[in-house]
Amino acid sequence: MDGEPGMRTAERLCTAMLGLVGVVAVYLAVRLPYWSQYGPGPGFLPVWLGFALFVLSALQLVELRHQGNADGGGQGNLLVQEQAHNVVPAADGDHAPTVVAPGVPHDGNGRTPFPMEFIVLCLAIVGHLLLITPLGWLSAAALFLLVGCRYIAGLGWGKSVLYAVLGPAALYLVFVVLLAMPFPQGPLGF
């Protein structure tokens, strides 16, 4: 607990460094063509990502400053952090207790089981990559979202199908229609 002021300083420093990376990215990206005759140029994405990184870093710095002022320099936040975690005592008594976030299953010693959702996610990513060529990007993305929503997020079939249709449709609208950037097409033409 003695390291809290140092941790807050480190968090501010890292956030400021990320903001600086955003500024440098924008500075370097404006040298690249922003737009080409076919759509966004090589400078388009780096400009917007750098700008977003800078803005989000600035907002985080404001939030960190607000938290520091609201709780007397960060001391009040320690109580919230202690109440928000479950402390699992060490089984052998030789080690310090383990802090586990609430709602995270553990075996009594603070070890969490390997989540099945992670395995499903890895398989879905590999399946998505393998299905892009035979089915096209939009169809592969729809299947990826269907698997993700149903088996990882645990949504019902109705919402899963809705998201699997609306997600690729929105991406098609933004990239193909508005930005004129075609996706790899499958045998059905999309």
Instruction: Give per-residue pLDDT as tens, 84-99.
Output: 445 555 555 555 555 5
86's enclosing H/E stretch is strand 86-88
Question: Cα–Cα distances in Å, from 159 out to 15, 80, 150, 164, 174?
Answer: 36, 35, 8, 8, 22
pLDDT-derived band at 164 (thresholds 50, 70, 90) equals very high
| pLDDT at residue 165 tops 90 | yes
| pLDDT at residue 70 tops 90 | no
Which DSSP category does 173 fall into? I
Give the pair of three-digit tokens for residue 119. Answer: 């395995």
Which DSSP category does 114 fall into? P
Provide the whole-model pTM. Answer: 0.46
Residue type, 32: L
Residues in the chain, total: 190
Which residue did the predictor score with more confidence, 11 or 27? 27
Question: Cα–Cα distances in Å, from 151 out to 145, 146, 173?
Answer: 10, 8, 27
pLDDT-derived band at 142 (thresholds 50, 70, 90) equals very high
Per-residue confidence (pLDDT) for residue 51, from 0 to 100: 94
Q: Rounded to 10 degrees, what is the CA torsion of 157, 163, 169, 174? A: -170
Backbone angles phi, psi at 133, to 5 degrees: -70, -50
Q: Are 174 and 122 in contact (CB under 8 A)?
A: no
Ordered alpha helix ranges (H), the chain: 4-29, 44-70, 75-83, 116-135, 137-147, 157-171
Each residue's pLDDT tens digit, 36-56? 888 888 889 999 999 999 999
Which residue did the predictor score with more confidence, 2 or 144? 144
